[in-house]
């Protein structure tokens, strides 16, 4: 009976350790995806900024500035849209990662509860047989 009680904390700690390792893997995968999205967006915006400022450097007179004005409005609009879309994607990845970690924690807690209940039932039956 005492052997079952002593072994149980080891089994529980193994279950929790396994769950924590899986959760860390999920968190790192989510972080990697978010970093990838941010770098891709940053690279795209840097390229667009270089193109924009190259075109802006060619403006020499008022007519060219008037012709350039719609391009600058378009650049600002595109930048805002791209950054907003990236933020939404990052939020989506964060939510999916959080849901996966939550699901993992729930299944781990459920499995641990079942294991504790099974061990407790076996211990009670063994105690009744011994008495």
> Has this prediction a pTM greater than 0.85?
no
Question: Per residue in 2-43, pLDDT tens?
Answer: 565 667 677 677 778 888 899 999 999 999 999 999 999 999
Instruction: Please enumerate in sequence order all residues whose Cβ is within 8 A of that of 112, keeping only pairs 6 or more positions apart, or say none.
Output: 12, 15, 16
Q: pLDDT band for position 69 (50/70/90)?
A: very high
Cβ-contact 1, 130 below 8 angstroms: yes
Distance, CA of 86 to chain centre: 14
Question: Per residue in 83-126, pLDDT tens?
Answer: 999 999 999 999 999 999 999 989 888 888 887 788 778 878 87
Q: What's the CA dihedral at 88, 89, 91, 94 to 10 degrees? A: 180
Q: What are phi and psi of 58, to 5 degrees?
A: -85, -5
Rounded average pLDDT over 42-48: 96
């Amino acid at each position: 009976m005492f052997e079952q009680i002593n072994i149980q904390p080891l089994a529980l700690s193994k279950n929790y350790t396994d769950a924590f390792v899986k959760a860390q893997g999920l968190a790192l995968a989510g972080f990697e995806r978010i970093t990838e999205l941010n770098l891709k967006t940053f690279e795209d915006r840097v390229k667009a900024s270089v193109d924009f400022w190259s075109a802006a450097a060619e403006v020499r007179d008022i007519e060219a500035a008037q012709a350039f004005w719609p391009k600058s409005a378009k650049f600002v609009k595109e930048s805002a849209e791209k950054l907003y879309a990236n933020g939404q994607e990052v939020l989506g990845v964060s939510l999916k990662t959080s849901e996966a970690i939550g699901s993992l924690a729930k299944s781990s807690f459920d499995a641990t509860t079942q294991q504790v209940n099974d061990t407790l039932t076996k211990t009670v039956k063994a105690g009744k047989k011994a008495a």
